[in-house]
Structures are given as structure tokens and as C-alpha cells.
Amino acid sequence: MDRKESATKKLFVKTYGCQMNVYDSQRMQDVLAPLGYQSVDDPAGADMVILNTCHIREKASEKVFSDLGRLRKHKKAKEANGSDRMIVAVAGCVAQAEGAELMRREPIVDMVFGPQTYHRLPEMVARANRAMGFDRIIDTDFPVEEKFDHLPDQVSQQGFSAFVAIQEGCDKFCTFCVVPYTRGAEYSRPGPDILREARQLVAHGTREITLLGQNVNAYHGAGIADGDGAEWSLGRLLRELAKIDGLDRIRYTTSHPRDVDDDLIAAHRDVPKVMPFLHLPVQSGSDRVLQAMNRKHDGADYRAIVEKLKAANPGLALSSDFIVGFPGESDKDFEDTLQLVRDVTFIQAYSFKYSPRPGTPASAMELQVPEDVKADRLARLQALLAEQQIAFNEACIGQEMDVLLDRMGKYDGQLVGRSPYMQPVYVKGLSEADLGRIVRLKITEARPNSLGGELVEGSGSERNVA
């Protein structure tokens, strides 16, 4: 065999943005592994570099262009010393939204492909390798069903906590958001395919699965292989997944308030494996702004959903996303957001200044809010959210929590895991052999972003697979 063909090739993947991109990056690595590509953590000398990009806010997109600038020297250096070329690829939502512009602005980019085309990567790479730099490739189709059908069946080992994409795209068209344009129309994977992927992960040691989707609770996958032609809701899927022995924890993200149905609420009551922590973006507390955002719910709807969820599971806690400075947001509208935060309480949250995205309806709205007003509102909102997060963490002191240990800490004998509420929890006196155990810890320390705990004697459940 040709020496070059058999040699391992170095692949550097950089992921920006959401968990769906983290998942997609893993799948790209799975697709390229049979071609001899092995992941490295430095772009210098790599045979292929993939930037898996995010377009959700302006800052995220800008980072891609500055990283491309830095890559130029790596590409030149590799090609100057007589080695093979470095293929530079831009994937993800910037690729989808600005593919042609990217190619024009950045001559070092050999390949641009959108989020629905990763299964075609081997073919694109072969073409790029043959092309010697002349045939630049752009693929921004939306064959989403094909993507899920053609990605390799054998998923790579993802560790004790793993992601599974169950739906992609969004039909909600919030007026600020690029997702319906970059990820396309809503598509749900068939339930049995998801169960198969979950079982494979569990067989490789995974104990916790986070179901991913841009609008995950719009999930309505076919349940055909079960002999049951009806569509599965997310509630049904959670119940089916909970039957898998060795799968101990199930989460899902990101949800839309409008798609929280009674079946899903009941799953939070009936299925102990469904963790009592829910990321439920509200964006704003002002009905006027929510309407202009086309969120299809108002503040009262959101409060009512939270009430129902907490009635189903009193231990349930929430996180959320907020946008401040949406076009036309007045001081009073912003006060309504603060009031909603005070009323509902969130144990964790992400908040952003509104960022006009090209092609979205809100970017063309009048009454754009000045930058300094946005910054001031963001600071006030974040102070309130931080207060609530700290209060929750402090209230954990003295409580016992089940923690899935999934990484080593900085110090000897220190391990880190996740509480049911996703807080990182640090514990001493354990060893690498304890990774993958779910242990009961008594919480002794609270910090703004983490907890410290001590082992409760005789606790813990073993891993499935060594």
C-alpha cells in the first residue's frame, strides 16, 4: 500500500457555540476516523482543520474570522516544508449562513459545509485532496434525514456522560434567531434509532445521556420499529429510555415553553431517571417584548408551566436564557424581566445583549436599543441571576446529593462530578478508579459556580463497564 495512504493523518477540530456543535464535532471525527484521521489538539502541522462554527450572536461569528487569520500561518508553514497540504474547512452555522462570502474573503478556506452534510465528509475530503487547492467545495444543502441515516452506526465512546441528538432544526422563528435559517426545518429522529444509539453508549460505560435538539421538546419521532406506528412525544421517549438498564440519568436541552406538554410534565413526576433540572429559556419577562420576539407565550404562560412542573416534581429547578435590549425594549419592559426572575427564581442562567443577526426580522426593526443601555441592563440582570445562583448553592450545604464522578480534579485524590442540578461537585480522598461511580455526597462547601462535598459512607453505585 502507498505509504502516504496508510499513514495516520492529523485532524484538528475546533468547536464553537452550543452542545449540538460539540456533538456534531464528535460525529465528524467518527466519520473521518476510517480515513485515517486522528484528532490532535494543536492546529500546527495538522492535515485537516475543521472550524465548527456558531452564528447565534455576532461575537461568535467574528471569532471564526480571527481564527482563520491565525490559521493562515499554520497552513503556509506546513505547505512550505514540503509536506502535504492542510485542508481548512469551515463547518456549522457560519458556513451555512455565509458560505459564499467566507470563500470570497478567506482564500485559505478549501471547504465550506453546513450542519446537515457531515455524512458526506469523506467524499468531500477525497475531492479536496484530489483538487490540489483549485476545486474549492461548498455544500450547504439541508438533507437532514439523510444525515442521521448515514452517520456511522457505531458511535464513539463519549464517556460517562454523553450527548445524543434527537431532533434538529426549528420551526418557531423567534424574530431574533438564526437557527431556523442555519439548521433548517424541524426534524425528529425515529425513536428506535435513538434507543439503539443510547444502548450502544451504555454498553461502552455511559451512565448519563443528554438528549439534544434546538427545540428538543418539539420532538415527535416515529415509533415504528416498536410495532407502534404512532409518533413518540419527548415524554414517551424519556419513558422508553428509562427502561435501559445501566442508564441512570437522563437530561434534555433546549426546550421551548410552548412545547412543554402534560405528558412531559408527567415524565418529571413519574420517571426518577429524568433529572430535576430543566433549561427552559424565557428570553424576556415583558409580554410586549415576548410578542415582538414571536415567542408564542407570555409571562403568565411561562409562570403557569413552571408551577405545573414544580407541582409534578417539587425538587425541580430551572435555568434559562435571557436577551436584554431587544428592539423597542423600554425600562418598564426590562423591569418586567427582573420581576419574572424574582418570581420564578433560576439556579443558573445565560443572558445576552441582543445582537442583530442578518436576515432575521428583528434586525430590521426600528428602535434598536443603544449599546450602553444594553450593557447596563445586562449587568443588572446578571447581578440578580448570580444572587439566585449563589443562594441556591448555599442552600445545598448540609444536603446529600448523588454525584456522577466524571473527571479528575487538580489535586491528588480529588475528583469532580455533577450533581442532579449540573453543579460541579468536588470531593477528596478518591482515586481514578472511582471515575464513573455515582456517589452520595454530603455538601460541605458552596462557591458561586461549584460545590464541595464529603463521601457518605457506604454510598455509591458501580459503573456498568470497566
Give contact residues for ligand SF4 (rule: CB under 6 A): 170, 172-174, 177, 179-180, 214-215, 256
H or E element, residue 205: none
Q: What is the end-to-end Cα distance of the chain in Å, rounded?
A: 37
Choose between 257 and 436: whose C-beta lies nearer to ligand 5AD: 257
Reduced 3-state DSSP string for 77-146: HHHHCCCCCCEEEEEHHHHHHHHHHHHHHCCCCCEEECCCCHHHHHHHHHHHHHHCCCCCEEECCCCHHH
- Give me the least distance between CB of 169 and ligand SF4, in Å please: 8
Q: Are 404 and 418 in contact (CB under 8 A)?
A: yes
Residue type, 300: A
Is residue 16 close enough to count as binding ligand 5AD by CB under 6 A?
no
Residue type, 69: G
Q: What are phi and psi of 417, to 5 degrees?
A: -140, -170
- Give me the least distance between CB of 173 and ligand 5AD, in Å please: 12
SS3 assignment, position 325: coil
Choose between 136 and 288: whose C-beta lies nearer to ligand SF4: 288
Q: Select the residue interacting with ligand 5AD from 13, 31, 54, 56 (CB under 6 A).
A: 56
Residues listed for the chain: 466
How far apart, in whole angstroms, are the C-alpha atoms of residue 91 and residue 28? Answer: 10
SS3 assignment, position 170: coil
Residue 357 interacting partner from ligand 5AD, ligand SF4, none (CB closer than 5 to 8 Å by kind): ligand 5AD
Q: Select the residue interacting with ligand 5AD from 236, 268, 295, 357 (CB under 6 A).
A: 357
Stretch that binds ligand 5AD, among 41-49, 201-209, 350-358, 381-389 (CB under 6 A): 350-358
When CB distances to ligand 5AD are compared, the closest residue is 321
Q: Select the residue interacting with ligand 5AD from 12, 354, 421, 426 (CB under 6 A).
A: 354
Residue 355 interacting partner from ligand SF4, ligand 5AD, none (CB closer than 5 to 8 Å by kind): ligand 5AD
Residue 417 interacting partner from ligand SF4, ligand 5AD, none (CB closer than 5 to 8 Å by kind): none
Residue 215 interacting partner from ligand 5AD, ligand SF4, none (CB closer than 5 to 8 Å by kind): ligand SF4
C-alpha angle 338/339/345, rounded to 5°? 85
How far apart, in whole angstroms, are the C-alpha atoms of residue 42 and residue 49? Answer: 10
Choose between 283 and 313: whose C-beta lies nearer to ligand 5AD: 283
Q: Select the residue interacting with ligand 5AD from 43, 184, 281, 453 (CB under 6 A).
A: 281
Residue 214 interacting partner from ligand SF4, ligand 5AD, none (CB closer than 5 to 8 Å by kind): ligand SF4
Q: Which of 395, 281, 293 is nearest to 344 (CA)?
A: 281
- Give me the least distance between CB of 216 and ligand SF4, in Å please: 10
H or E element, residue 15: strand 9-15
Choose between 144 and 177: whose C-beta lies nearer to ligand SF4: 177
Q: What are phi and psi of 395, to 5 degrees?
A: -70, -15
Q: Select the residue interacting with ligand 5AD from 176, 219, 252, 277 (CB under 6 A).
A: 176
Choose between 214 and 313: whose C-beta lies nearer to ligand SF4: 214
How far apart, in whole angstroms, are the C-alpha atoms of residue 348 and residue 393? Answer: 10
Is residue 352 close enough to count as binding ligand 5AD by CB under 6 A?
yes
Choose between 67 and 321: whose C-beta lies nearer to ligand 5AD: 321
Choose between 88 and 378: whose C-beta lies nearer to ligand SF4: 378
Residues 208-227, mask of contacts with ligand 5AD (x by CB under 6 A): --------------------
Residue 170 interacting partner from ligand SF4, ligand 5AD, none (CB closer than 5 to 8 Å by kind): ligand SF4
Residue 180 interacting partner from ligand 5AD, ligand SF4, none (CB closer than 5 to 8 Å by kind): ligand SF4
Is residue 283 close enough to count as binding ligand 5AD by CB under 6 A?
yes
Counting beta carbons within 10 angstroms of the beta carbon of residue 122, is it exposed (0 to 12), middle (13 to 18) or buried (19 or more)? middle
Cell numbers at 357, concatenated: 443577526
Question: Per-residue DSSP letters for 172-202?
Answer: ---TT--HHHHT-S-EE--HHHHHHHHHHHH
How far apart, in whole angstroms, are the C-alpha atoms of residue 179 and residue 174? Answer: 9
Which residue ranges make up the site for ligand 5AD (CB under 6 A)?
56-57, 176-177, 281, 283, 321, 323, 352, 354-355, 357
